A and B are shown apart, each in its own frame.
Chain A
Amino acid sequence: MTLKDLIDKLLGRQPSSASTAKQRLQLVLAHDRSDLNPELLEQMRREILEVVARYVEIDVEGGDVSLETEDRVTALVANLPIRATVNRPT
């Protein structure tokens, strides 16, 4: 984020078109590079949530599974807030 972006944000103005361009590019490139389209990613997200939900109670609304990319390396990042551990029968 640049100084101008911060001032724009504080004043409630639209971000500069350059920062919008960068954000859009980073998102589209993460998908291009991993060859995952948004539908597949959504399906994977649901399946991951299902598996995790078997072990812990998660905040589905607050959860987020996305692709992030840095230095040409793409990572799948899951951020799943845990409410409680599910009591499994022993």
Chain B
Amino acid sequence: MSTTRTILICSGKGGVGKTTSTANLGIALAKQGKTTVVLDADFGLRNLDLLLGLENRIVYTAQEVLAESCRLEQALVKHKQEPNLCLLPAGNPRMLEWLTPKDMQSIVSLLEKRFDYVLIDCPAGIEDGFKNAVSATREALVITTPEVAAVRDADRVIGLLNIQGVAPVQLVLNRVRPRMMTNQEMLSVDDITDILALPLLGLVFEDEQVIVSTNRGEPLTLGDSSAPAAQAYHNIARRLQGEEIPLMDPSQARRGLRARMRKLMQTKIF
């Protein structure tokens, strides 16, 4: 039996950081010595290539591999600086009617023969693209942000993953603003894990450096960035491999008497 971990990265709502998380976790796992492939299952609106800086190097997609018009090796795009990481786009944006759950399963099982980690970047929504991607995965990471719409959509997705028997399903809380959270102007980490009832694999603070890194097509985890978000993604990658690393505490991000007062005000009394 293959020991490959196949992990779907999904969220329901768009724009919460699925693709950014896939790119950063892919690089982080590769740097930790794991051969990793990131599969862009969102072939209608694919962007993983752009975030990884590989947009000019795509020749073939999974589609040509399945049609046997090229070999898997030809379709895999190897990352320039991080040779442990490959990208495979599921399909071509012009061809919208190709993917079926069976296609997705065939391509993922090909990838599972060659890689330690298969990360599937899921399309937003809960329609066909999502269903195809779910059918091919074993585990899932649900990405959400501390906003009501994102949490509600995450809940729908978790319900569907449970029905499909995907396990384990873990949570990544993205775009946390420590100051707003300590002021109770944003749903707290506990609020969200209470509501969604999922184990929290990591939290990523809102970080302007994420935008800077996407501008360049170099995920934050690629360099030696000391940005909090880079650290968060490295930690998530290590926790995926079973290492125990304490979660960041939003109330500790700010120190001093006022921060301590705010933390006191957050204490649950009943």
A3/B184 in contact, CB under 8 A: no
A84 CB to nearest chain B CB (Å): 34
Beyond A4-B265, A25-B151, A71-B197, whether A18 also contacts B270 by CB under 8 A is no
Shortest Cβ gap from B80 to chain A (Å): 43
**Listed stretches A26-34, A40-48, A52-60, A75-83; interface member:** A26-34
Would A21 and B267 count as touching, CB distance under 8 A?
no
Task: Give A2 Cβ to nearest chain B Cβ, in Å.
Answer: 5
Q: Is B1 an interface residue (CB 8 A)?
A: no
Total count of chain A residues near the partner, CB < 8 A: 22
Q: How many residues of B contact A (CB 8 A)?
A: 26
> A64-81 interface mask toward B, CB cutoff 8 Å, 1 = contact, 0 = none?
000000011000000000
Contact check, B266 vs A2: say whether CB atoms are below 8 A apart. yes
Among A2, A17, A32, which residue has its beta carbon within 8 angstroms of that of B268? A2
Is the beta-carbon distance between A4 and B266 smaller than 8 angstroms?
yes
Q: Does A36 contact B (CB under 8 A)?
A: no
A19 touches B195 (CB 8 A): no
Which chain B positions have C-beta within 8 A of A33? Answer: 155, 159
- CB-defined contacts of A26 to chain B, threshold 8 Å: 195
* 8 A Cβ contacts from B84-134 to A: none
- The answer to whether A4 touches B197, judged by C-beta atoms less than 8 angstroms apart, is no
A13 to chain B, nearest CB (A): 12
Which one of B184, B186, B264 has the greatest number of beta carbons of chain A within 10 Å? B184
Instruction: Flag whether A88 is at the interface (Cβ < 8 A).
Output: no
Contact check, B186 vs A18: say whether CB atoms are below 8 A apart: yes
Instruction: Known contacts A1-B268, A2-B265, A71-B197; decide if A32 and B156 are in contact (CB<8 Å).
Output: yes
CB closest chain-B residue, reference A28? B152
- Known contacts A3-B266, A18-B187, A26-B195; 12 additional CB pairs below 8 A are A2-B267, A4-B184, A7-B265, A16-B183, A17-B186, A18-B181, A18-B188, A22-B195, A25-B187, A32-B155, A33-B155, A72-B197
Footprint of B on A, CB under 8 Å? Answer: 1-7, 16-19, 21-22, 24-26, 28-29, 32-33, 71-72
Sample 12 A-B pairs with CB under 8 A, ordered by A number: A1-B268, A1-B269, A2-B268, A3-B264, A3-B266, A7-B265, A16-B183, A17-B186, A25-B187, A28-B152, A29-B152, A32-B156
- What are the nearest 5 A-B pairs in CB distance? A16-B184, A4-B265, A18-B184, A72-B197, A22-B191
